[in-house]
Structure 1
Amino acid sequence: MSELELTKRRLEREKAARRQAEAILEDKARQLYHANEALQRLNGSLETEIQRKLIELDLSEQRYRQLIDSVDDIIYKMSLDGLFTYVSPAIENVLGYRQETVVGRHFTHLVQPECWQEMAHFYQQMVRERTLSTYYEFAAKSRDGRRVWIGQTVRLIEADGQIVEMVGVARDITARRNAEQALQTTEIRFSTLLSNLHAGVLVEDEEGEIILANQQYCTIFDLPVQPGQSHRQSAGLAQHVLGEVAAFNARLDELLRDRKLVEADEIRLRNGRILERDYVPIVLAGRKLGTLWMYRDVTGKFHARELIRRSEEKYRGIMNKMDLGLIEVDRTDIILRVYERFCAMLGYAEDELIGRNINDMLVPPEFQPLVDEQLQSRQQGLSGSYELQLIRKDGSRIWVLVSGVPIYDERGDLVGSMGIHYDLTQRKELELELAAARQVAEDARMAEKQFLANMSHEIRTPLNAIIGMSHLLLDTPLSPRQHEYIDSLKTSADFLHRLISDLLDMTKIEAGRIEMNLRPFDLSTLLYSTQKVFEMKLTDRPVTIDVLLDTRIRGNVVGDDLILNQILLNLIGNAEKFTEEGSIQIIARVRREDEHEYVIDFTVSDTGIGIPAEKLDSIFQKFRQVNPSAHKPKGTGLGLAITKELVELQGGTISVRSQVGVGSQFMFTLSFSKSRDMVVPVNNPVPVAVSPADIPQCRVLIAEDNPLNQKYISNLFAKWMIPFGMASDGAELVELARQQVYDLILMDVQMPVMNGYEAAEAIRKTPNPNLFTPIVALTASAMLDQREMATQAGMNDFLAKPFEPMQLIDVLRRYAPVGNLRERSADAAEQAVSTAQDGLNYQRLDELYGDDAAYASEMFAAFLSDVVPDVANLPTLCRVERLPELAQLAHKIRPTFPMVGLTGLETELEQLEQAIHGKQPLDQIEQRCAGLVQELNRMVPLLQAELQKRLHLST
């Protein structure tokens, strides 16, 4: 139903209500008039009756009372000071009071308080002006508290020229007053509605004269409208706005003649604005009562509609030229509109598609689930792109890329979707052909790899037996010829073993099963060891092998020494095979160096036969031997290919320079991190320079579930004469931590029953002697997220597996005290807290981080960005009484405070948790939260300054 119809019906209802109210008022007025007449006649009759009683008829007092009591209105007498001297029984029916309870009371007993002053003024003025009879209305108060409107006629009674009392007749007029109030409310609503409508409204009576026009109408036509004018006359005054007044009036006449409802009748004004007019004839029982005209300025909407139409035409042309087929469907996929290019794609005419379901008509069954999924996305207002096939009119299929978008109406309701289709049939056919070819190639490659892997393993089993038997035979008494035969057999077996090993290495590399194992090692030792190996092989040849090491390379580097060793062995072995005399050089030169890293250029050069220039591009390809045919070396052609893969696995590059008859140079570049750790041989866990006297004496608690690792650590601590406790899981460690104090806890992260994070959190958050004991995580991962998890759990540091004995000694030196065991107690804890009351606990920070400024800066930055905002939420959670969440948040963030030296606030958070769990009063908990926020805000500048200092030290 339109807004106009609703307004029309509302106006009709309000008019009917107004007519009903008027009828009630008229009826009440007539009743009041007759009552006044009756009262006057009654007064006259009473006076006559009284006189006749006294003079002629001698009526009794009882008959006089009966006459008054029979009247429905209240009749009363009142003294000049406002006291009732008589009231008729009718007062009980009207107000609920009995006669005897009213007589002798002041009139204010029956009147609403807000009417007291005005009513007293009425009586005083009546007496003062000696008005014999007056009508007055007021709000009375019934016995049950109802508000009752009373209309009364009051007369003055005189005796001997003096006013002695007042007599009144009062009637209940509540119904009339309510009807008048309802009529007044209706008129106000109607007036407000017309004034606030965004449309111009004009109402005419049956004679065509204007009886109502709102301000919006006057504004639209720029004229003042006076009641009594006609619509035609007002149009004449608006000629400067309308322009064509004659046409305007002609259309008015046409509408008035037809007397039919007309909506959105368009009118163009002189200044280019556009109006829509509604004509509503007001007819009741076939009789014309008037006319309602409504005008709306729709210029903006009209221009927007025109822009949309032109834009649609523009983009329709663009889409057709771009070979994009457009189609619009409703929410059930019924086609509403289809564009020319889409019809051409599928061979249909437009009228063959309109009104049909696009899925039933065009989508193959195997693509129906995809279309249903996209339809659900459109129903949720989501766009999407997808590929599918469509069925052409001739039954053939085409591949299309569809971009679907939802369509909304002007109210924002989803009404359908639009699909943009791009024909990609040719591309799809080419992709399918390429995919088939790629699959054939992949199958062949996998078959090759599987064959090589299978054959390598099958050959290696008997080969191990051949090599073993060769060794056994060489240890038995042999003739020279037998020794020659066995030596030839062993040489061939060794060659075959290298061949199989190369095949397996390449298979592993291509399968991605080679993993980097980074650890500190001595680069100079590795290079010189390799030199010694080949010096022994070159004993019988006039070939020297030298190592040239850049003097800037000092100390240890971090990298995969095994992979680097294999690279060098491959390159030097290749040089050794093709160098009959001369030299082989191994060079390591620093290309770039900073505080943390070396970038090193390695070169392996020889004075061998060299490589032809046209063969250099294929030197690193598999199974390629590019040497002159005159030289027939032994090998698979995999060594250099494997070397290239291993270099690139470490992020490096490799290249070659060569000249036939002069020699070759193989260059590769790798980067290594600098290491401060000493490299300790595995077979000598504790260097000779380190004795138990040099290791801090302390008591250590260890959590480790691996038996071999338990044995390894136990042997080290036994050798160093350090007392320790061993737990196989986290739960066992927590129980041991409750029994006695330790100086250090080594916590394996991955354990059964309770993992290391859970165990550390239990130690940090439950009463035990090791509440502040340093905890170092033992983990095989050095990723940042592992560090963050360890920190959140309350751990102080971590030691990456596998670790060398010297690394473990470094941890002991960092966290364990020198001398006798420390005894931790509540007093020590309080002392640690007190040191941080006016600042950060720098002793604790030194214990945690030592010289690791980068790690410390990460912790400070994470605390400022993540934990400080969480603390700010504590008072809010308290105010809204979400105490379980408050306790959970305090429990979560408490272990992070000692990580930045705020040990005092850590204790405050623990007390906050205890207060919540102990159900202390809410105001005390809120006070604790506010104090925490205030104290942390005071410490934030110190934390920021410490962060900047640590960042400066780490750069």
Structure 2
Amino acid sequence: MFDKIFNTTHLSIVYLDNQFNFIRVNKTYANACGYEPEFFPGKNHFALFPHKENEEIFRRVIETGKSFSIYAKPFEFPNHPEWGTTYWDWTLQPVKDKDGNVEGLVFILVDVTHSKKIELEFKKLNESLEEKVKDRTLELKKAKEAAEQANIAKSAFLSNMSHELRTPLNIILGYTQLMQRDVITSEQHKKYLDTISHSGRHLLALINDVLEISKIEANKTKIQVTTFDLYRLAKNMELMFQAKTKQKKLQFVLDIHSNVSRFISSDESKLRHILINLLSNAVKFTEEGGIVLRVQMKKGKFPDLCLVFVVEDSGVGIETEEIEKILQPFVQSAKTLKNIEGTGLGLAISKKYVELMGGTLSVSSQVGKGSKFHVEIKCKAGKKEEYQEKAEDRKVIGISQNSNIPKILVVDDADDSRFLLVNLLETVGFEVREAGNGLEVIDIWTSWNPHLIFMDMRMPILDGLEATRRIKETEHGKDTVIIAFSASAFEEDKAHFLKIGCDGFLSKPIIEAEVFEVIAKHLGIEYRYKEVKDVSLPIQELNPEDFTGISKDSLNALRDVLMSLSSDEISSFIKQFESGHKQLYQKLTELSQRFQYTVILDVLSKT
């Protein structure tokens, strides 16, 4: 039985004496060596298979009496060079006599050549893959470096473009705002100024869109949550676009659902941007009919809300296959591109803003019948006491008697830009001085001690950066508020200005509301404002009872004038109710101003 097992096992088994002479081998070992088993007895192992390193190992086992194992030991048979290198797992086990002396060795081997070669192939393949990964990583690194260089070049171009365009725009819009502050008796002149202002702001919006899409692509756009008046935002949209729609003889309807909260917490600036983009598109692509802005609210668990905006138009519509395309940057509908102005960025920016605010923007359209843009945005309910009315909501006309008159230094090497801001501030009542370079700033600051400095960053002789550094490194200068003033609008520039010591940042062109807001923020002053009519939305519901006392002829005449869709005739007709039916007059006026003629006609049909 032992002989059968000894000669059929897959293990190669060798029995040697302590001089390494073969005593017995099994068939597996003999076959592996290319001999018969009878060939080995009496022959010396290392005479047949000379190998100095192996002989040292065998001798050490004899001397120490301790077993030894090794894995995947390479070996080449001298009588079979064609076999090449073979690999063996082997174990040496000492055989001891009754006195503990080593009298021989049992040498057990397993041929692992096949698995070792597979392992080597895998290793070789792995090394090849590692080399390819290394090469690919190097390629990606080079591509990344090239992309970064391209982005640097792109940023430099956008920065220069922004600076070159914003500088003249600063003059155009700034002087327009100054002239609009004057008492102008000519309606034609007012119209001229409004046109200049609108066109300048349109160009500024295009510049800002290009810069904004660059920020979005670089993941540098952030959400700024504040509590604001949603009714006022909606009303401002109505006022802004009624003039445009009236010019094109279009109806504009603002429909605010009764469940809409007046004060909410969200990013007002981005919401305004979204609405302006959607409504601007609606006006662009609509030649007859009208535009509707619906504001609704889905209520969740307090204070979570879902704000819904729907912008509908009766314009040219969009081909189904083009709906996804128009939401991409720099893309406009191929059907209308030749007739339409713009950069093709508005919808792309709106979509990104909506997504940043955790919402969705969907589009449905039918060619020849119009389009509907549906926006849902997550927000929270706000409280009236959290709301701070912004300067842009009211016109600043002076400094409150409760505030001291601050001293403000205006610094700009461009005479026109400097004169513009100086005049704006003096009109309101600030004490103002001016400087044209950094050295003049240091002199005036030292002698006059202004509370706040508007500091242009690009100037000759000594630029605004160095002037700011010199002022802020003094103990006294730490109390001087410095607002960086630049034609650059990049966040990294703003961050750099703040890092070197500036307390705030304003980009050109001058927007007077932003100027007054930053002064109030840092100096804590209060203003006097021009009185404005309070926004009270939604309006009271019109009922059949409101027409009590109105003659049948007047009701029929009202129906006829409403059917004419002439806003001037409708306003003139409604005027007759002002003295005797004031509440009815107010309701009809509010509805007609929103072009909600169908609402009035529906109520009239029930009288």
Assess same fold via TM > 0.5.
no
TM-score, normalisation: structure 1: 0.28
Q: Which protein, 1 or 2, shows the higher relative CO under an 8 Å CA cutoff with sep ≥ 6? A: 2
Q: Could you state the TM-score of these two structures normalised by the residue count of structure 2?
A: 0.42
Structure index of larger Rg: 1
